[in-house]
Amino acid sequence: MALLTAEQILAASDIKTETVPVPEWGGEVNVRGLTGAQRDAFEESMFVGRGKDRKENFANLRARLIVLCAVNEQGQPIFTEKQVDALSKKSAAALDRVFEAAQRLSGLSKKDTEDLAGN
Domain assignments of the chain as residue spans, ordered by start: 17-113
Average pLDDT, the chain: 92
Query: pLDDT, tens digit, for every residue of 85-114?
Result: 999 999 999 999 999 999 999 999 766 555
* CATH superfamily, with its number, for domain 17-113: Phage tail assembly chaperone gp13-like (3.30.2220.20)
Angle between helices 92-105 and 61-69 (to 10 degrees): 60
Q: Give the containing element (helix H, strand E) for 66.
A: helix 61-69
Beta pairing, strands 47-48 & 55-56: antiparallel
**Quick one: which of 46, 18, 5 has its CA closest to 102?**
18
Residue 118 — very low, low, confident or very high, per pLDDT cuts 50/70/90?
A: low
**Which residues have CB under 8 Å from 116's CB, separation 6+?**
43, 46
